[in-house]
Amino acid sequence: MKDIQSNKVSTLWLNGKIRNIDHVCLASMIANNLDVTLYHYGALSNVPSGVKLADASEILDLSLLDRLQCIKKKELNPQIPIAQFSDFFRIILQKKSKGLWLDTDVFIFRPFTYNLDKVYFCHEGKGRIGYPVIYLPSNHPIIEEYENLLLQDTLMPNWLGFIRGKLRPFIWTLLRQKFSPSDLGITIYGNDGFSRLTKRHNCFKEALNKDLFFHWTGKETDRLFQKVNFKDLINNSKHLGIHIHRKQWENLPINPGSFWEWALSKYGRAIKKT
């Protein structure tokens, strides 16, 4: 197998002003020698210097959003459809050889590259792969799973577990309650679905250590915004980055001595105020 290394990264922001957290994270990618392309469908603002922009419609038609609307749980629109659209988008990027996918809220500590001929993803914990950081060679069979799903009349995946794949749809149908696959949960095409597919196609064992990008996950990432010692994160080479995840902290007062205060001062100087 060849060892062709790349620093190419792609990500997505539909349109509008990029959140300050995402601005800081994108700026950290550029500062650490990643070649970042940000795909978008509409006008953007608050984009860090050095980020390349590209037309997202060349990757995936935005009309897919209409197929991802929740029917039973309409109060979850548009949050779930947008998240799930991104789940498909990153896979089609892999098909088109557009490089490693990083969520816009992944903060990077140091430069790194990945092998173009190997999968690149990490354990997130609880038997799952962290979907914010993935790379697949363009001929990988997982890509075909998503492509085949897009060809179906409904976007019901064949990789779900018993409860979401069989039991819940059966009960809702029995009760004559209308629903769409998106009503089954935000992760059916994301980290849960992708993790199941890595096991189906025997590449789960190739997942890298969670400390690379997921040292803290979920509510643990609140620590990034609190006065908690973060020096090991930025100084220890076993950490390449961190998925920030808990973005609501952006709207709260900044805690002195926090990672967020440090990151904002380092990479947030060009943030647009409006």
pLDDT surpassing 70 at residue 274: no
**Residue recorded with tokens 């993935």:** 134
Cα–Cα distance for residue pair 204/195, rounded to 1 Å: 7
Spatial contact of 12 and 90, defined as CB atoms under 8 Å apart: yes
Task: Report the phi/psi class of residue 21: left, alpha or beta, with left for phi > 0 and alpha for psi in -120 to 50.
Answer: alpha
* Phi and psi torsions of 95, nearest 5°: -60, -35
Handedness of CA 112, 7, 89, 134 (dihedral sign): negative
SS3 assignment, position 11? strand
The mean pLDDT of 240-250, rounded to a whole number, is 89
Q: State the pLDDT at residue 1.
A: 56
Q: How would residue 186 be classed by pLDDT, with cut points 50, 70 and 90?
A: very high
pTM above 0.85, yes or no: yes
> Does residue 212 have a pLDDT over 90?
yes
Mean pLDDT of 171-180: 97
Beta-carbon count within 10 A of 4 CB: 11
Q: For 68-119, how does the pLDDT look when each residue is reduced to its tens digit (9 = 90+)?
A: 999 999 999 999 999 999 999 999 999 999 999 999 999 999 999 999 999 9
Tokens of 71: 């029917």
Q: Can you tell me the mean pLDDT for 237-260?
A: 92
Q: Provide the pLDDT for residue 252.
A: 85
- Coil, strand or helix: which one is 114? strand
Give pLDDT, residue 107: 99
Mean pLDDT over residues 4-8, rounded? 98
Instruction: Read off the pLDDT of each residue in 172-177 and give the average, rounded to a whole number.
Output: 96
Q: What is the mean pLDDT of residues 152-162?
A: 97
Peptide bond preceding 78 in cis form (omega within 30 of 0) = yes
- The answer, yes or no, to whether residue 30 has pLDDT greater than 60, is yes
CB atoms within 10 A of CB 73: 14
Q: Report pLDDT for 247.
A: 81
pLDDT tens per residue across span 41-56: 999 999 999 999 999 9
Show the tokens assigned to 47.
Answer: 């984009």
- Provide the phi-psi class of 129: left if phi over 0, else alpha when psi is between -120 and 50, else beta: beta
Q: Which long-range contacts (CB under 8 A, 24 or more apart) does 224-230 make?
A: 224/249, 224/258, 224/259, 224/260, 225/249, 225/252, 225/254, 225/255, 225/258, 225/259, 225/260, 226/255, 226/258, 227/255, 227/256, 227/257, 227/258, 228/258, 228/259, 230/258, 230/259, 230/262
Task: Output the pLDDT for position 246.
Answer: 83
Measured between alpha carbons, how far is 246 from 17 in angstroms, rounded to an integer?
A: 18
